Amino acid sequence: MKIALFGLTYLVGIGELLLAIYFWVTNSKSEIRRVMAFLALSLSLWVLFNGIFGVHLPTKLHSVIFTAPYVFGVFILSFLFHFSVVYPLKTFSFDRLHATFLYAIASIFSFAILFSTTIVDRFFVHDNGSIGIIGGPLYGLYNFYLSVLMLLSLALIVYKYRQIQGIPKRNVQLILWSSIITGVPAFITSVFHLAPTFPYNFLIGPIASGFWLVAVTVIIRRS
């Protein structure tokens, strides 16, 4: 089972990396495709670093390799929110200043994750291969911010689903369900750690992101 889980994780990560390259090389001047490229890249790195995390189980209390998934996690939700604003059409004015503010917050969280123990303090490994985390004093704020971004993104996607018709409506529906199917396991296991002793809990969210990969691939084929 272990080999199958890790193999599937790496396949999903590589697929999302290829998707990021596709969106960038096809038309990086399009804001939607540019955001999708960065969203897919962040997802890919989050998935792959979770795989690396499992192969090299924490030998240090705090290191770049083991905290990297938390860095990419905040960028995934930031890019998802940005995407939900601009796809298929902008819901409201979201200019460069708004984008700078959004990603500045993500960068501040990332700096705190990588260079301090205020968000991620340390990890511990259970006998069955599951990973536990002891958060720092700002871990709750980090979780709250990610939850807000996720809820706002889903709310915007639902709003757009109810406003549009035709193929765009079906595409938005795919994005909505794939985001939920990916997001719920990721939040349960990677953000709130509600399944702390489930075997290889850190791979559940990354593998579930394969549904998002499939959904976006279907949308591309429809285009």
Mean pLDDT throughout 35-44? Answer: 95
pLDDT exceeds 50 at position 193: yes
Q: Which residues contact 114 (CB under 8 A, 6 or more apart)?
A: 64, 67, 71
42-78 pLDDT, tens digit per residue, is 999 999 988 887 665 555 544 677 788 899 999 999 9
Q: Return the pLDDT at 124.
A: 75
Distance of CA 168 to the CA centre of its chain: 23
pTM (two decimals) = 0.90
Q: Return the pLDDT at 133.
A: 81
Structure tokens at 85: 């604003």
* Banded pLDDT at 27 (limits 50, 70, 90): confident
Helix axes 64-86, 139-163, angle to 10 degrees: 30
* Banded pLDDT at 95 (limits 50, 70, 90): confident
Task: Single out the residue of 28, 164, 29, 181 nearest to residue 88, CA to CA.
Answer: 164
Structure tokens at 40: 């897919």
Mean pLDDT throughout 131-159? Answer: 92
Longest Cα separation, the chain: 52
Residue 219 CA to residue 184 CA, distance in Å, equals 22
Peptide bond into 88 cis (omega under 30): yes
Phi, psi dihedral angles at 128 (to 5 degrees): -90, 10
Q: Return the pLDDT at 190.
A: 79
Q: Which of 50-54, 103-107, 163-167 is most confident?
A: 103-107
Q: Return the pLDDT at 71.
A: 94
Peptide bond into 137 cis (omega under 30): no
Phi, psi dihedral angles at 135 (to 5 degrees): -80, 160
Q: Return the pLDDT at 55.
A: 63
Q: Which of 60-74, 134-148, 198-212 is most confident?
A: 134-148
Structure tokens at 84: 């939900």
**Domains of the chain, each with CATH number or no CATH:** 2-222 (1.20.1070.10)
* Banded pLDDT at 113 (limits 50, 70, 90): very high
> Between vectors from CA 161 to CA 46 and to CA 39, what angle results, nearest 5°?
20
Residue 53 CA to residue 19 CA, distance in Å, equals 23
Residue 82 CA to residue 95 CA, distance in Å, equals 11
